[in-house]
């Protein structure tokens, strides 16, 4: 297993009118990467430009941020060739490490669009260095800061300019090395890209991180089907994995995240959270996080549930009034 720290630059439509916009909002124009050995030392480099063909005009903001000109890209290779060369360079079963979740998703989308073999046709396990940075060094464990801020915060020397794929991969590799030496305990918190969902129950992903567990379910034909599925909606215990007694029934403050809580006789209060990941064809998969909580956590969840219920009532009332108004106009 090799660790590959990767960074991409991409271009987008300058008019928003191309027919490809929905399928390929961002076209990769540069791949930069660093190969690390098990001691987190740099042992290989990859840096290639790609000539864009879907959006051949460079979006003005892209060119401002990353200092690439169209003349540079005109000398770049085709995505099909460069990505193939890159994946061969990565070697077998690489673990890709990136700053934040978008690079893996865009790589998968570009591979699909250009009919290249995918990293994986289901979820891709990767290391989100931005997430690990917060876990290791930030008081707010969910904080996401820019790579340059992170580099400043832990005093890494800025010896090459930022915002080119190779240099950003280089700094991400340096940050990862710092995390690995200072806080090796956070390295186990791997991430999964779900640009493509698990196809069957056998392909589902389950990881027990110790302090919480994560399940990525198979694909369902739509949200309603997922929300009726027992695997998705049963309230379970982190340790036992089995259904437990309900304390707070499922509620959603926003239609994207769903929450519930239960109590296990052995392991105490447990929070369940489900995020629905939606795809273009209306199909979805569910990402379920199960985590032990204390009493104050349960109280917070109760308040959240009450607020969600109030909102739901208000919405219903508004709908009822609108309907009344419409029917009174008809008369």
Distances (CA, A) of 321 to 310, 311, 317, 326: 17, 15, 6, 9
Q: Is 22 in the site for Zn ion (CB under 5 A)?
A: no
Q: Is 49 in the site for Zn ion (CB under 5 A)?
A: no
Q: Least distance (Å) from Zn ion to the CB of residue 270?
A: 7
44, 82 Cβ separation under 8 angstroms: no
Contact stretch for Zn ion (CB under 5 A) within 28-36, 87-95, 165-173, 261-269:
261-269
* Residue ranges in 270-309 that form contacts with Zn ion under rule CB under 5 A: none
Measured from the Cβ of residue 24, the count of other Cβ atoms closer than 10 Å reads 20
Q: Is 237 in the site for Zn ion (CB under 5 A)?
A: yes
Q: Least distance (Å) from Zn ion to the CB of residue 240?
A: 3
Exactly one of 5, 165, 264, 286 binds Zn ion (CB under 5 A); which one? 264
Exactly one of 239, 275, 292, 297 binds Zn ion (CB under 5 A); which one? 239
Q: Is 267 in the site for Zn ion (CB under 5 A)?
A: yes
Helices H, strands E: what count in the chain? 10, 12
239, 297 Cβ separation under 8 angstroms: no
* Angle at 297 (CA atoms; ends 295, 302), nearest 5 degrees: 95
Contact stretch for Zn ion (CB under 5 A) within 101-109, 178-186, 209-217, 240-248:
240-248
**Tell me, what DSSP letter sits at residue 316?**
H
Cβ closest to Zn ion, residue 21 vs residue 263: 263
Q: Least distance (Å) from Zn ion to the CB of residue 247?
A: 14
Q: Is 36 in the site for Zn ion (CB under 5 A)?
A: no
Contact stretch for Zn ion (CB under 5 A) within 84-92, 229-237, 248-256, 292-300:
229-237
How many Å apart are CA 146 and CA 132, to the nearest integer?
13
Q: Least distance (Å) from Zn ion to the CB of residue 304?
A: 23
Q: Least distance (Å) from Zn ion to the CB of residue 265?
A: 7
106, 28 Cβ separation under 8 angstroms: yes
- Residue 65: which residues within 8 A CB-CB, separation 6 or more? 163
Instruction: Return left, alpha or beta for 153; rule: phi > 0 is left, psi -120 to 50 is alpha, else beta.
Output: alpha
Cβ closest to Zn ion, residue 22 vs residue 266: 266
Q: Which residues make up the interface to Zn ion (CB under 5 A)?
A: 237, 239-240, 264, 266-267
């Amino acid at each position: 297993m090799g660790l590959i720290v990767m960074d991409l630059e991409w271009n987008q439509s300058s008019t928003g009118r191309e027919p490809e916009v929905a399928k390929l909002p961002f076209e990769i124009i540069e791949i930069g990467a660093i190969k690390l050995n098990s001691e987190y030392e740099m042992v290989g480099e990859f840096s290639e430009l790609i000539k864009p063909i879907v959006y051949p005009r460079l979006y003005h903001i892209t060119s401002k941020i990353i200092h690439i000109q169209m003349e540079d890209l005109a000398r770049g290779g085709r995505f099909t060739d460069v990505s193939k060369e890159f994946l061969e360079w990565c070697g077998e079963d690489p673990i890709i490490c990136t700053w934040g979740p978008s690079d893996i998703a865009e790589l998968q989308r570009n591979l699909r669009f250009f009919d290249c073999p995918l990293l994986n046709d289901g979820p891709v396990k990767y290391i989100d260095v931005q997430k690990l940075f917060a876990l290791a060094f930030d008081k707010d464990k969910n904080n996401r800061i820019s790579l340059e801020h992170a580099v400043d915060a832990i005093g890494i020397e800025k010896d090459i300019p930022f915002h080119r794929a190779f240099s950003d991969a280089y700094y991400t590799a340096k940050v990862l090395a710092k995390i690995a030496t200072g806080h090796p305990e956070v390295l186990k918190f791997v991430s999964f890209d779900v640009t493509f969902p698990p196809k069957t129950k056998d392909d589902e992903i389950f990881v027990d991180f110790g302090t919480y567990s994560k399940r990525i379910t198979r694909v369902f034909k739509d949200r309603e089907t997922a929300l009726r599925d027992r695997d998705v909606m049963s309230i379970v215990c982190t340790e036992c994995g089995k259904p437990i007694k309900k304390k707070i029934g499922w509620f959603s403050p926003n239609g994207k995240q769903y929450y519930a809580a239960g109590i296990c006789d052995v392991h105490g209060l447990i929070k369940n959270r489900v995020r629905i990941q939606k795809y273009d064809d209306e199909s979805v998969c569910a990402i379920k996080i199960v985590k032990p909580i204390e009493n104050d956590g349960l109280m917070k969840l109760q308040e959240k549930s009450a607020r969600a219920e109030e909102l739901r009532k208000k919405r219903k009332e508004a709908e009822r009034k609108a309907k009344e108004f419409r029917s009174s106009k008809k008369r």
